[in-house]
C-alpha cells in the first residue's frame, strides 16, 4: 500500500472515530492538502519519495513552530503541535539513530576526503540523498560540522 493510500485509509478511519479521531483527521487532511498543492506545483503525480519529502517538510514546520511557542511560554499550543508531529511521524520511514548517522557521515567523509570545514557542502551534498526523510537535517549538519572540526 502506498503512502497516499495509507493516508486515505487512515482518514476514513479517523472520520469513523468521530470526536476521538478529530485531531488525526485534521492533520491528515492538512497533509493531503499539502500533497495536492505539491502535485499541482509539479503538474504531475508525486513519487513515494516526494510524498515522504512533503510529510518531512510538514514535520519540520511543526517542530520549528513548537520551539517558538515554547520560547514564548505557550505550552498549550506547543503540546498540540507535538501531537501533530507524533501523528505525522507514523507516515515517515523509521528515523536513523545518531550512531547510524555518525557512521554514515564517516563513510561519506572517507569517500569525499574533506580538507577543512569549508568542504562541508561537498559532504552534505553526498550525504543528504542517503538520509532524506530518515534523519533530521539539523542533526546531520551538526554531526558533519563536529566531525569536520576534529
2 pLDDT more than 90: no
Specify the domain boundaries for CATH 1.10.1510.10 within the chain.
3-89
Cα 81 to Cα 35, 62, 65, 77, 88, distances in angstroms: 19, 6, 8, 6, 11
Task: State the fold for domain 3-89.
Answer: Hypothetical Protein Yqey; Chain: A; domain1 (1.10.1510)
Query: By C-alpha distance, which of 107, 110, 117 is closest to 142?
Result: 117
Average pLDDT for 109-137: 84
> Can you give the pLDDT at residue 150?
78
- Give the integer Cα–Cα distance in Å for 21 and 13: 8
Q: What is the CA radius of gyration of the chain?
A: 18
Q: Which residue has the higher pLDDT, 144 or 33?
A: 33
Model's pTM, two decimal places?
0.81
Each residue of 11-54: pLDDT tens digit? Answer: 999 999 888 889 999 999 999 999 999 999 999 988 988 898 89
| CATH pick for 98-148 out of 1.10.1060.10, 1.10.10.410, 3.30.300.210, 2.60.40.10 | 1.10.10.410
Specify the domain boundaries for CATH 1.10.10.410 within the chain.
98-148
Amino acid at each position: 500500500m502506498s503512502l497516499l493510500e495509507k493516508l486515505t485509509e487512515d482518514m476514513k478511519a479517523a472520520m469513523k472515530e468521530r470526536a476521538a479521531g478529530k485531531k488525526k483527521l485534521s492533520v491528515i487532511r492538512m497533509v493531503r492538502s499539502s500533497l495536492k498543492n505539491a502535485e499541482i506545483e509539479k503538474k504531475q503525480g508525486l513519487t513515494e519519495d516526494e510524498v515522504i519529502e512533503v510529510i518531512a517538510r510538514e514535520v519540520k514546520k511543526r517542530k520549528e513552530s513548537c520551539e517558538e511557542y515554547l520560547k514564548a511560554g505557550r505550552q498549550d499550543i506547543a503540546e498540540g503541535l507535538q501531537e501533530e508531529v507524533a501523528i505525522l511521524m507514523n507516515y515517515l520511514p523509521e528515523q536513523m539513530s545518531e550512531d547510524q548517522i555518525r557512521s554514515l557521515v564517516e563513510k561519506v567523509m572517507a569517500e569525499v576526503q574533506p580538507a577543512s570545514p569549508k568542504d562541508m557542502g561537498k559532504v552534505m551534498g553526498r550525504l543528504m540523498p542517503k538520509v532524506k526523510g530518515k534523519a533530521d537535517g539539523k542533526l546531520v549538519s551538526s554531526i558533519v560540522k563536529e566531525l569536520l572540526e576534529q
